[in-house]
Amino acid sequence: MKRYDIHKIFEVDDDAVLTPEEISEMLGFHIESVRRWCRSGKLDCYSFGGKYVILGSEFKAFMERSRKKAM
């Protein structure tokens, strides 16, 4: 089982331009899941000719929104 360092995710520069492929590798999710998040608006991104790019700041905001709070 591959282990992911969650702290590295939050070290992504706010101005970094990420692809769905890079995000899928960082999170361990299938690339189509990341594309679905983009299409649905769950993950804010830019679309150029059917290709998605995500700013580092938007990726970190997505991760914060996805965080489960302790009850």
Closest CA to 19 of 51, 42, 44: 51
C-alpha dist (Å) from residue 18 to 1, 68, 69, 70: 24, 24, 27, 30
* Domain contains 60: yes
Residue 70, pLDDT score:
66
Residue 10, pLDDT score:
81
| Mean pLDDT, the chain, integer | 90
Number of domains in the chain: 1
The yes-or-no verdict on residue 1 having pLDDT over 60 is no
Give 50-70 as a DSSP string: TEEEEEHHHHHHHHHHHPPPP
* Domain contains 21: yes
**What percent of the chain shows pLDDT beyond 90?**
72
d(CA 63, CA 49): 26
15-44 pLDDT tens trace: 999 999 999 999 999 999 999 999 999 999
- CATH at 20: 1.10.10
